[in-house]
C-alpha cells in the first residue's frame, strides 16, 4: 500500500513513522511530506533514508492513504485536495465535528468507518478523548453512562515541539535562578500547572474542553452529559484524565475491573498501595491505555472514579491513526 505522511517531521508525524514500522504495516511506497522549510531533509524508515517532499508541490495521486499531522490550517487547505485521490486520516481538529466525516476510535466505533466515502476523510479524535472513550466504552455497554466529570492533565508535547523546548528551557532557567520567559504558554509552565488549553469561549469553557464534550458525544453516545477542565502540566509526554462516572444502573466494582482489563486497548494497574498505579512517565512509548485508582464515589449513587493515562503522541494521535488505517483495510 502507498502511504503519505503530511507533517512527517513533527512530533506526531515521526511517531506515525515509528508505528508503521513497529506494526509491520503493509507499506509499498512511503512519501514523507512537510513544509518547504523541512523539504529536502531525510528521515529513516526500516533502515532506509527517505527525503522529505514539499507539501505545496506534492502529487497526492501517488498515495492510497494519507495521514495529516500538520495542524488544522494545513488540513483545511490540503486535506480536501488530497481526498480527491487518496483516503485521508486527519489528526487535526478541523474535520472532527463535520457530520459527513466519521470521528473514529477503532476500539469504540469502528462501525462508523463505513461513512468515510462521503468526503474520503476520517478524523482522529482529540488526544485526551481517545483514551477516555477507550475506557468508557465497555462501561457504557454494561451500565449505561449518564454523566462524566473529567479533569485532564495534559503534557506539553500536545502543544508541539516548541512547547516542549520551552518547558526544558524554563526548567533550566528556574534551577539556575534566572528570569523565565514564556512564548508558547500564557504563564510559566515549569514547576506549574495552567488551567487553560486553547482559547476561551463565551461559556467560560475553553475550546479544548468543548472538544471533549462534543467528541465524547459523537463517538460514544450523544445522551451522555459531559463537563471537564483541561490543565497543562510540566510533563513532556503522556496525558492523564481523572474522571468521575455516573451510571444509570447499579454496578459491581469487581466486574468493572474485570471488563476493563479484558477490553481492547485497556490495561488495569490498580493496586491499593504505594506505587500501585500508572503515571504519565510510565505510559510514555506504550501502546496501552492504563487505568488506575478504580473506586466507588461515596458521595453519589451509581458513580465511580478512575485515573486514565496514555501516551498522547501514540494512542492519543499516531497509534490511533494507524489503527484506523488497519481497521479500514479489514473492511475493504
Instruction: Please answer whether residues 229 and 128 qualify as being in contact, where contact means their C-beta atoms are separated by less than 8 angstroms.
Output: no
Q: Give the active site residue among 127, 140, 213, 266.
A: 127
Q: To 10 degrees, the CA torsion angle through 181, 187, 11, 15?
A: 140
Query: Are 113 and 138 contained in the same domain?
Result: no
- pLDDT category at 330 given cuts 50, 70, 90 is confident
Q: Which residue range is the domain that position 43 belongs to?
A: 2-125+317-331
Q: What is the mean pLDDT of the chain?
A: 97
**140 and 67 both lie in a single domain:** no
What is the structure's pLDDT at 216?
Answer: 98
* pLDDT of 88: 98
Q: What is the CATH number of the domain that holds 42?
A: 3.40.50.720
- How far is residue 37's CA from residue 76's CA, in Å, rounded to a whole number? 20
149 and 296 together in one domain: yes
Answer whether 157's CB lies under 8 Å from 164's CB.
yes
Residues 40, 86 within the same domain: yes
User: 322 and 257, same structural domain?
Assistant: no
Q: Where residue 200 falls among pLDDT bands split at 50, 70, 90?
A: very high
Instruction: Answer yes or no: is 185 within a domain.
Output: no
- Other Cβ atoms closer than 10 A to 196: 16
The CA-based dihedral angle spanning residues 122, 125, 126, 128, taken in that order and rounded to the nearest 10 degrees: -160
pLDDT confidence of residue 331: 81
**Shared domain check, 141 and 251:** yes
User: pLDDT value at position 157?
Assistant: 96
Cβ pair 12, 75 in contact under 8 A = no
Whether 90 and 143 map to the same domain: the answer is: no
Residues 301 and 221 in one domain: yes
**What number is the average pLDDT over the span 172-189?**
96
Same domain for 12 and 100, yes or no, is: yes
Q: What percent of the chain has pLDDT over 90?
A: 98
Cβ neighbours for 326, distance < 8 A, ≥ 6 positions apart: 23, 25, 106
The answer as to whether 170 is a domain residue is: no
180 in a structural domain? no
**DSSP-derived 3-state class of residue 106:** helix
**From 111, 140, 213, 239, active-site residue:** 239
| Residue 188 placed within a domain | no
Residue 332: pLDDT band (50, 70, 90) is: low
Task: State whether 205 and 294 are in the same domain.
Answer: yes
The stretch 286-293 carries a mean pLDDT of 98
- Predicted confidence at residue 64, as pLDDT, reads 97
Sign of CA pseudo-dihedral 314, 315, 318, 319: positive
What pLDDT, in 10s, does the model give residues 228-240? 999 999 999 999 9
Residue 234 lies in a domain: yes
> Smallest Cα–Cα separation from 245: which of 159, 167, 106, 136?
136
Q: Is residue 207 part of a domain?
A: yes
- Please check whether residue 178 lies inside any domain of the structure: no
- The answer, yes or no, to whether residue 171 has pLDDT greater than 70, is yes
Shared domain for 147 and 276, answered yes or no, is yes
The CATH number linked to 262 is 3.30.360.10
Inside any domain, residue 172 = no
- Residue 213 bears catalytic tag: no
**Cβ-contact 184, 207 below 8 angstroms:** no
104 and 147 share a domain?
no
Burial of 12 from C-beta contacts in 10 A (0-12 / 13-18 / 19+): buried
266 is catalytic: no
Domain count of the fold of the chain: 2
**Predicted local distance difference test score (pLDDT) of residue 268:** 98
Order across the sheet with 103-104: list the strands. 42-45, 48-54, 29-34, 2-6, 65-68, 87-90, 121-124, 103-104
Amino acid at each position: 500500500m502507498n502511504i503519505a505522511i503530511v507533517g512527517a517531521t513533527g512530533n506526531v508525524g515521526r511517531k506515525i513513522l515509528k508505528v508503521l514500522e513497529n506494526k509491520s504495516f503493509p507499506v509499498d511506497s512511503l512519501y514523507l511530506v512537510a513544509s518547504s522549510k523541512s523539504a529536502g531533509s531525510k528521515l529513516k524508515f526500516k533502515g532506509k533514508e527517505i527525503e522529505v517532499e514539499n507539501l505545496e508541490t506534492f502529487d497526492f495521486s501517488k498515495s492510497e492513504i494519507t495521514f495529516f499531522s500538520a495542524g488544522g490550517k494545513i488540513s483545511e487547505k490540503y486535506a480536501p485536495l488530497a481526498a480527491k485521490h487518496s483516503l485521508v486520516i486527519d489528526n487535526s481538529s478541523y474535520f472532527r465535528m463535520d457530520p459527513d466525516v466519521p470521528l473514529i476510535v477503532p476500539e469504540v466505533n469502528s462501525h462508523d468507518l463505513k461513512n468515510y466515502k462521503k468526503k474520503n476523510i476520517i478524523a482522529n479524535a482529540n488526544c485526551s478523548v481517545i483514551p477516555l472513550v477507550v475506557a468508557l466504552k465497555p462501561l457504557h455497554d454494561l451500565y449505561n453512562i449518564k454523566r462524566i466529570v473529567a479533569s485532564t492533565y495534559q503534557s506539553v508535547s500536545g502543544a508541539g515541539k516548541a512547547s516542549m523546548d520551552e518547558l526544558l528551557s524554563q526548567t533550566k532557567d528556574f534551577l539556575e535562578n534566572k528570569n523565565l520567559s514564556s512564548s508558547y504558554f500564557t504563564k510559566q509552565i515549569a514547576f506549574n500547572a495552567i488551567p487553560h488549553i486553547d482559547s476561551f469561549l463565551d461559556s467560560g469553557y475553553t475550546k479544548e474542553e468543548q472538544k471533549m464534550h462534543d467528541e465524547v458525544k459523537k463517538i460514544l453516545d450523544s445522551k451522555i452529559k459531559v463537563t471537564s477542565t483541561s490543565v497543562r502540566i510540566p510533563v513532556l509526554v503522556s496525558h492523564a484524565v481523572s474522571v468521575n462516572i455516573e451510571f444509570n444502573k447499579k454496578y459491581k466494582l469487581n466486574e468493572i475491573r474485570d471488563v476493563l482489563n479484558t477490553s481492547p486497548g485497556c490495561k488495569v494497574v490498580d493496586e491499593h498501595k504505594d506505587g500501585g498505579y500508572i503515571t504519565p512517565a510510565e505510559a510514555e512509548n506504550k501502546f496501552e491505555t492504563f487505568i488506575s485508582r478504580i473506586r466507588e464515589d461515596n458521595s453519589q449513587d451509581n458513580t465511580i472514579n478512575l485515573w486514565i493515562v496514555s501516551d498522547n503522541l501514540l494512542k492519543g494521535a499516531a497509534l490511533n491513526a494507524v489503527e484506523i488505517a488497519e481497521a479500514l483495510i479489514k473492511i475493504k
